[in-house]
């Protein structure tokens, strides 16, 4: 169950990279670097996990990144997932985005957790995501899961 939740979170983050900013109460930031070197940063994205699917929304709700499939395992108290499916829903259409690789870390505990071999800590309900698409786009997400629904 935790593995599916983490996978969903990763997918959301990846999809959000092409959208605008999120609601004021949201606590995530997405960075998208295109193959031409241009960079877009989206603050205050909404991150939700529901029914084992991760979704990341833009402020205007015109776009959502979706991750609903991933291979997950635990490294200590952190869930680590390798997303296998990444989608972008925008303007009423859903597109599958081809991935080269991706990695998501999720902290579903009530305490900060240290990443192995790193000085980085994830806050409670924290998430960190990094994806590379076949088109050469890099998407990263760092934030707090706003809502988790089993």
Residue pLDDT, tens place only, 33-54 = 999 999 998 888 999 988 878 9
End-to-end CA distance of the chain: 8
112-122 burial string, b = 16+ CB within 10 Å, else e? ebebeeeeeeb
Q: In which residue ranges of the chain is pLDDT below 70?
A: 1-26, 60
Using a pLDDT cut of 90, give the percent of the chain over it: 53
- Smallest Cα–Cα separation from 62: which of 28, 25, 18? 18
pLDDT at residue 61, as a whole number:
72
Radius of gyration of the chain, Cα coordinates, nearest whole angstrom? 14
* Sequence ranges of the domains in the chain: 2-149
pLDDT at residue 26, as a whole number:
66
Has this prediction a pTM greater than 0.85?
Answer: no
């Amino acid at each position: 169950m935790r593995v599916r939740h983490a996978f969903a979170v990763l997918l959301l983050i990846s999809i959000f990279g092409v959208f605008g900013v999120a609601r004021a109460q949201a606590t995530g930031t997405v960075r998208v670097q295109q193959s031409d070197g241009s960079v877009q940063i989206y603050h205050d994205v909404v991150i939700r996990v529901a029914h084992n699917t991760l979704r990341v929304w833009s402020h205007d709700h015109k776009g959502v990144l979706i991750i609903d499939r991933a291979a997950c395992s635990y490294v200590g108290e952190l869930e680590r997932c390798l997303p296998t499916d990444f989608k972008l829903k925008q303007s009423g259409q859903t597109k599958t985005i081809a991935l080269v690789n991706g990695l998501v870390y999720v902290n579903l505990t009530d305490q900060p957790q240290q990443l192995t071999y790193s000085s980085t800590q994830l806050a409670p309900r924290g998430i960190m995501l990094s994806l590379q698409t076949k088109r050469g786009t890099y998407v990263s997400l760092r934030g707090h899961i706003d809502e988790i629904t089993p």
